[in-house]
Amino acid sequence: MILRPQTRRRPLGFDMTPMIDVVLQLIIFFLFTSQLSQVMRSPIDLPEEKGDEGQVVSPGAIVIDVGADGSYLMEGQARTLEEVVRVVSLEQQHAEAVGETLDLLIRADRKGPAAHINMLATRLAGVGVRQWKLGTTSPPGGGP
């Protein structure tokens, strides 16, 4: 009588290691891209107002930074007023063509004169942009 060594049967299942690797890579990707959008914004001393906490700017929103010296920044690049108005006008036309509304955020330095914001608002109204948001920060201690 020939005795064969007993082989243990492994339970059937699947290896979770590749799935865990993919999940961790996705987490790292989303963390990096969410931080990158914050890095693209220039540091500006925003006006201290309570604002509307329910308002959230969509990721595809156009952000215009107005410096204290009257400079305009879009996507981290210095632009002239004419360039800003031209880009926003093109985006407005595209949004209307697909039946959407343009999401526009203006972040103005509180140390700068309001004349720069007024000039921008007047020029934007001239190309049909009637709605935009002004970026603010909450005052320390909650404020009124």
> Where exactly are the structural domains of the chain?
62-134
Q: What is the mean pLDDT of residues 27-55?
A: 69
Helix (H, G, I), strand (E, B) or coil at 64: strand
The pLDDT value given to residue 89 = 92
The rounded distance, in Å, linking the Cα atoms of 83 and 74 is 10
Q: Is the pLDDT of residue 131 over 80?
A: yes
Contact (Cβ atoms closer than 8 angstroms) between residue 60 and residue 95: no
Q: Where are the alpha helices (DSSP H) in 1-128?
A: 17-39, 81-97, 114-126
Average pLDDT on 6-19 reads 78
Q: Percent of the chain at pLDDT above 90?
A: 24
Which residue bears the tokens 């299942």? 13
Q: Give the residue with greater pLDDT, 52 vs 17.
A: 17
- CATH architecture label of 62-134: 2-Layer Sandwich (3.30)
Are the C-beta atoms of 57 and 107 separated by less than 8 Å? Answer: no
At 118 the pLDDT is 92
Give the Cα separation of 55 and 36 in Å (integer): 21
pTM: 0.64
Residue 47 has pLDDT above 80, yes or no: no
Spatial neighbors of 53 by CB under 8 A, at least 6 apart, are none
- pLDDT at residue 10 is higher than 90: no
Q: Say if residue 15 is exposed, middle or buried (CB neighbours under 10 Å; 0-12, 13-18, 19+).
A: exposed
What is the pLDDT averaged over residues 81-94?
Answer: 92
CA neighbours closer than 13 Å in the CB half-sphere of residue 22: 5
CB 47 within 8 Å of CB 110:
yes
Q: Whole-angstrom Cα distance, residue 99 to residue 48?
A: 34
For the chain, state the CA radius of gyration: 26
